[in-house]
Structure 1
Amino acid sequence: MKKTFVLVVLFILPLVAYLFFASGVNNFGRLPTLTEEVEDILAINPEVSLQDKITILGFLGKDADLRKGNAFNLNQKIYKRFYEFHDFQMVMVMPFGTEDVVENIYQELNELTDA
């Protein structure tokens, strides 16, 4: 009796717990639309559109060099997981005059992944 109990606790119970947790749906659940009428950014860049895309829109401000850690975190935690989805995009809006800093950050990100 003790052997059966030990076998159930050590082998069957972890297997049942794994099957229970593995059946959960957390990555592909339907997220709500937070804002319905969002103006598209075609006026800024005609190549980028927010229409029918899952978009992470970011703004690092004028001191982008000080906040490049945030860009690296977004790259590692979000972009690397979802870049293969065709309707996923990350758009960063930056003020004029920060082109050189943004290019440096972009080059550093390219060393880690295909940004």
Structure 2
Amino acid sequence: MKDNKREDNPKAKAFIEDFFNKYASSKSDDMAYLMDNPEGLEGTREVSQIREIRLYPKGDDYVAKVEILMKDKDSPLENLEHYTLDITKKDGKYYVKNMTNSIGG
């Protein structure tokens, strides 16, 4: 994200935290109001900790780089996941246009 300054936006960060908790616990159908290509883990995994959220403005939208510790529902083992989200505002609410699971951030 060369040339882009990071931005601190508490509302966008709160949306991202809420989004990942719903993503881990919900079915794809239940995620349709939050994202273009609905995905959901249906409770198979859960968020242990959101380690870092880096927000980069992109016009009126944001690109978010997110590091999350996730674990399988029935296992104590955790692994660090890296996601990139393209976030926009839709009807006054944040919305995920695209989500990719990226290796190494």
Class of the TM-score when normalised by the shorter of the 2 chains = under 0.3
| TM-score, normalization by structure 2 | 0.26
Larger strand fraction of residues: 2
Larger radius of gyration: 1
**With structure 1 as the length reference, what TM-score do the two structures score?**
0.24
Structure number with the higher helix fraction is 1
